[in-house]
Amino acid sequence: MIDMIDSFYDGSEGQLEVRRLVTTGVQLFLYGMYIPLFGVCIHVIRKRKRGNYKLHITLTTALFILCTTTVILNLINVAEAVKMEMPTNLAMIGVYMLANVCADLIMLQRCYVIWGANIYIIVIPFIGLCINFAFGVSVLAYKSTYLVVFFIMTLVENIILTSLTAGKIFWINHEAGIILGSAVQTRYRMIAAMIMESSILYSTAIIAGVVSIYARNVLASEIAVNSQTQLVGIAPTLLVVRVGLGIDVKDVIGSVKVISMAQSQTHTLGEEDIPLSMSDSDPDVESGELVAATEGMLITNEEIGYNLKPQIFYPQNKKYRIK
């Protein structure tokens, strides 16, 4: 596989220069998008300070540093205008693999939180991450042919973690709909869609890279391989920015607690409908707040309504606290 990547740089000096300029231009374009996303992402995480936010900041920052390193290495090669040698090639591959590890750890942490800190859910994905990292080390240490295997296992890992996370949110979406009606489901569908879109973005880049390598499309291969590290960083960062500005992915955990509470503690509120205004503001997971997607929802005697604090009911201006 290393030989295959080295073959990308075969050709006349003029062809090499064109390919360097095109691939570097694409990489710099993606990195230019990544810089403001990273800044907004850190701002969102620091402002919200949810759960293990320091760990999230550390992983996100490490990912950004690794992506920046690949840009620097590529610019050095372009500036020197020489054929990329094996040590530099291996360095870029090593940085790409470390970036994948950071991105997978972010996804593992998100999946762990969504599943209510259930360690058993992430055992298999974590083992897969360790095996994949071992393949990566073998590529660097022995110049083996496992790079395509690393790409494929990264793709599988990405699909598994995305399926677990999005699947859990769809389940929460279904349960929330039973308690609060279909209107509240819009928010959770949006979160699940964002997670899947983030996964599709990076998965498409991996597939394009593998296909172009085997098709021996030199320019397409160079663009795909050099762009993947940036997409590794952009995908999870973009998800944090998009979701964080509305509702944090971790906020769905509060919904699970509220749903369980509501199913076990049911009150009859009276014959008449009770007007209830549900805020669209950002909830606090630690206090179990739940965001509703509607304003002025009418709750009948067969339904349970929540103000911002789901532990407290407000029917007919009276408070009933769940014990």
The pLDDT, as a whole number, for residue 65 is 92
Q: Are strands 297-299 and 274-276 parallel, antiparallel or unpaired?
A: antiparallel
- % of the chain surpassing 70 pLDDT: 59
- Tokens for 7, please give them: 């073959």
- Tokens for 204, please give them: 């498409």
- CA–CA separation, 38 vs 237, rounded Å? 6
Q: Which of the two residues, 10 and 286, has the higher pLDDT score?
A: 10
What residue segments make up the domains of the chain, in order of their start?
2-247, 254-321
Q: How far is CA 269 from CA 83, 94, 138, 305, in A?
A: 76, 62, 65, 9
- CA–CA separation, 206 vs 196, rounded Å? 15
The pLDDT, as a whole number, for residue 141 is 72
Q: Confidence band (pLDDT; 50, 70, 90) for 15?
A: low
State whether CATH 1.20.1070 applies to domain 2-247: yes
Q: Which of 38-47, 89-98, 256-265 has the highest mean pLDDT?
A: 38-47
3-class secondary structure for the chain? CHHHHHHHHCCCHHHHHHHHHHHHHHHHHHHHHHHHHHHHHHHHHHHHCCCCHHHHHHHHHHHHHHHHHHHHHHHHHHHHCCCCCHHHHHHHHHHHHHHHHHHHHHHHHHHHHHCCCCHHHHHHHHHHHHHHHHHHHHHHHHCCCCHHHHHHHHHHHHHHHHHHHHHHHHHHHHHHHHHHCHHHHHHHHHHHHHHHHHHHHHHHHHHHHHHHHHCCCHHHHHHHHHHHHHHHHHHHHHHHHHHHCCCCHHHHHHHHHHHHHHHHCCCCCCCCCEEECCCCCCCCCCCCCCCCCCCCEEECCCCCCCCCCCCEECHHHCCEECC
Q: How far apart are the first and last CA of the chain?
A: 62
The pLDDT, as a whole number, for residue 202 is 79
What is the tens place of the pLDDT at every residue in 61-116? 988 999 999 888 888 877 765 554 444 567 777 888 888 888 888 888 888 888 87
Count CA atoms within 13 Å of residue 109 on its CB side: 19
Average pLDDT in the 201-211 region?
Answer: 79
The pLDDT, as a whole number, for residue 254 is 52
The pLDDT, as a whole number, for residue 179 is 64
- CA–CA separation, 167 vs 196, rounded Å? 10
- CA–CA separation, 155 vs 143, rounded Å? 21
Q: Which of 46-55, 138-147, 159-168 has the highest mean pLDDT?
A: 159-168
Average pLDDT in the 19-31 region?
Answer: 84
Q: Enumerate the β-bridge partners of residue 320.
A: 313
Helix axes 53-80, 13-48, angle to 10 degrees: 160
Among 227, 222, 308, 304, smallest CA distance to 267 is for 304
The mean of the pLDDT values for the chain is 67
- % of the chain surpassing 90 pLDDT: 3
Write down the pTM of the prediction: 0.66
Query: What is the Cα Rg of the chain in Å?
Result: 24
Q: Which residues of 184-220 are buried (b: 16+ CB within 10 A; e: fewer)?
A: bbebbebbbebbbebbeebbebbebbbebbeeeebee
